[in-house]
Amino acid sequence: MKRTFSKKMWRETGAGYLLMSPTLFVLLLFIVGPIVFAIFLAFHKVQMLGTTTFEFVGLDNFQRIVHDTRAKIAFWNTLKYVVIVVPCQTILALVLAATLNAGLKGQKFFRIVYFLPTLTSSAVLTLIFMWMYNQNGLINHVLKVLGLPTYNWIGDPDVALNAIMIMNIWSTAPYFMVIYLAALQDIPDSLYEAAELDGANVLQKFWYVTVPYLRPVTSFVVIMGLIGTFQLFDQSYIFSAGSGGPNNSTLTVVLLIYQYAFKTLGTMGYAAALAVVLAIIILIATLLQRKFSKEESLY
């Protein structure tokens, strides 16, 4: 049966699109437009200084990634960072939330203390940790007092990326903790009472009641963590003064994109190709995570 549109329906449809037009304009200008332009740049050799020129090169920019040693290092560093940081910050956020939800004394105070890192800007937080990581900084001073070996946290290639990982796990876990804490308060007490009747202890109730009930929330936390960690830039930039050092140990994909786009002449198209590849990797990782978590079956 064909649907006929009356004049009233056309007017209502037109009024709806008219009301949405400011939002649609912003989406097209600042989201869809840059995405399309980045894909366009990825297939061109771009000269931005002087007379702007676009030379179509097909898949050459993508083929260059395979032979670029620094790109391989950046992708490896980013992958290692994601694999370590996402599980650690997720587990820490869940543990902190479960602890605060247990009804301990002073839990309101600890909620504020735990959440403070999230209120601090990323740049300021990085500078604070750089001071702490300094060879004569707070962390090495504590290690000396305890009789433990000190580290050149910023200058040692074997330690630099780990130092950034520790900082990010500490600073991002409280944000996800708040999300978990809100979800924990929605778990019916009857589930825990039924588990107690079956003889479950505290750990068994946490593992067999709390964790399965929070699976949709965990899926959201992991997806947001994947997106955020794959796009690591500011901490790596500040730690290495934009170089990705020492010895490319803190070089990430987004930092490499920045270097090729704004520090090297004639490589804007190659930087766009790297950005497209990174976007595809993030999309695939997100879809795989959703599939393995079986999120849809829990709603």
Task: Report the pLDDT averaged over residues 258-280.
Answer: 91
- Other C-beta atoms closer than 10 Å to the C-beta of 55 total 11
Residue 297 is classified by DSSP as G
Which regions of the chain carry the CATH code 1.10.3720.10? 61-298
Band of pLDDT at residue 1, cut at 50, 70 and 90: very low
Question: Letter for the amino acid at 166?
Answer: I
| pLDDT surpassing 60 at residue 29 | yes
In tens, the pLDDT along 181-198 reads 889 888 888 888 888 888
DSSP 3-state assignment of 263?
Answer: coil
- Residue, of 99 and 108, whose pLDDT is higher: 99
State which amino acid sits at residue 222.
V
Q: For 42-82, how does the pLDDT look when each residue is reduced to its tens digit (9 = 90+)?
A: 999 988 766 778 889 989 999 999 999 999 999 999 999 99
Q: Which residue has the higher pLDDT, 67 or 293?
A: 67
CATH fold of the domain at 61-298: MetI-like fold (1.10.3720)
Nearest 5°: the CA angle 44, 283, 61 is 20
The answer on pLDDT for 299 being more than 50 is: no
> Which amino acid would we find at residue 183?
A
Better pLDDT: 82 or 152:
82
In this prediction the pTM is: 0.87
**What pLDDT is recorded for position 25?**
93
Contact predicate 252/232, CB 8 Å: yes
What pLDDT does residue 136 have? 86
Q: Could you read off the pLDDT of 122-140 as tens digits, one per residue?
A: 888 889 999 999 888 889 9
**pLDDT of 298 higher than 50:** no
